[in-house]
C-alpha cells in the first residue's frame, strides 16, 4: 500500500478500517523517511501475513504495536529488517503461537540494543535464518522461552552481532548458544 514511499515522513492512519485485512506484507516497506508511526487503531485480528511489513524503514525510531493482535499471523519474516534507527521495540503483547517464519525478522536493526522476546512462542517456527544478523548494537537478548525443536534453518542467526556476548543471551536452549558460537 505504501511500498517504496521513500519521501513519506508522516502519516495519519487513525481512521483506517483494517477489520477485514488478512495480508499486510510489505505495507510500509521502503518508507525510508518515516520516523514514527502510530498503529494503535489498527485491527489486525484477521492478518496472517506481516512479512517485511516495515522493511527498510531506516529512519523509524518509534513504533506503537501495543494493540496488534497477532493470533493468526503465520509469517513475520523480515518484519523489522532494515529498521536501522529503531533503538527499542516492545513486542510483549505479540502472540506468535502460529508463526512458522521468523527469518530476517530483526536483521539490520543496527541501533537495537536490547530485545526481550521471552513471551514468544516458537513451537511452530521452522525458519530463524538471519533473524538477528547485523544487529551490531545488540548487547542483551532474552530468548528464554525459545523452542527450536522444529527449526530447520538457523543459518547466520546471530552473524555480525558484534556487541553481543554469549553471557548476555538469556536462554535455556543449548542449540541457540551453539548457533551463536558458530556465527561468531
| Domains in the chain with CATH codes | 1-184 (3.80.10)
Exposure string (b/e) for 128-138, b if CB count within 10 Å is 16 or more? Answer: bbbbbbbbbbb
pLDDT band at 36 (very low <50, low <70, confident <90, very high): confident
Q: Is the CB of residue 73 less than 8 Å from the CB of residue 101? A: no
Q: Among 131, 152, 127, which Cα is nearest to 141's?
A: 131
pLDDT of 38 above 90: no
Torsion sign, CA atoms 99, 123, 102, 149: negative
pLDDT in tens, 53-108: 999 999 999 888 888 999 999 999 999 999 999 998 999 999 999 999 999 999 99
Summarize pLDDT for 93-113 with one digit per residue, the tens. Answer: 999 999 999 999 999 999 999
Instruction: Give pTM, 2 decimals.
Output: 0.93
Beta carbons of 99 and 73 less than 8 angstroms apart = yes
46, pLDDT greater than 90 = yes
- 150 in Cβ contact with 180 (< 8 Å): no
Separation CA 142–CA 87 (nearest Å)? 16
Q: Which residue has the cell 512462542?
A: 121
Return the sign of the alpha-carbon dihedral for residues 96, 90, 51, 21.
Answer: positive
Q: In this predicted structure, what is the pLDDT of residue 14?
A: 84
Q: Which residues contact 123 (CB under 8 A, 6 or more apart)?
A: 97, 147, 149, 150
pLDDT of residue 143: 93
Mean pLDDT on 127-148: 95
Region 3-14 average pLDDT: 87
CB 183 within 8 A of CB 176: no
Amino acid at each position: 500500500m505504501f511500498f517504496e514511499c521513500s519521501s513519506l515522513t508522516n502519516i495519519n492512519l487513525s481512521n483506517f478500517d483494517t477489520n477485514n485485512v488478512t495480508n499486510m506484507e510489505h505495507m510500509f516497506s521502503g518508507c525510508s523517511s518515516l520516523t514514527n508511526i502510530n498503529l494503535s487503531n489498527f485491527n489486525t485480528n484477521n492478518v496472517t501475513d506481516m512479512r517485511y511489513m516495515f522493511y527498510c524503514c531506516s529512519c523509524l525510531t518509534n513504533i506503537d504495536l501495543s494493540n496488534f493482535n497477532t493470533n493468526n499471523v503465520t509469517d513475520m519474516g523480515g518484519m523489522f529488517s532494515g529498521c536501522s534507527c529503531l533503538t527499542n521495540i516492545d513486542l510483549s503483547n505479540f502472540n506468535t503461537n502460529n508463526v512458522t517464519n521468523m527469518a530476517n525478522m530483526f536483521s539490520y536493526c543496527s541501533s537495537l540494543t536490547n530485545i526481550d522476546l521471552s513471551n514468544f512462542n516458537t513451537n511452530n517456527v521452522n525458519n530463524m535464518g538471519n533473524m538477528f544478523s547485523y544487529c551490531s548494537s545488540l548487547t542483551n537478548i532474552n530468548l528464554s522461552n525459545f523452542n527450536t525443536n522444529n527449526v530447520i534453518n538457523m543459518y547466520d542467526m546471530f552473524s555480525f552481532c558484534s556487541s553481543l556476548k554469549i553471557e548476555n543471551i538469556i536462554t535455556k536452549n543449548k542449540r541457540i548458544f551453539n548457533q551463536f558460537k558458530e556465527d561468531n
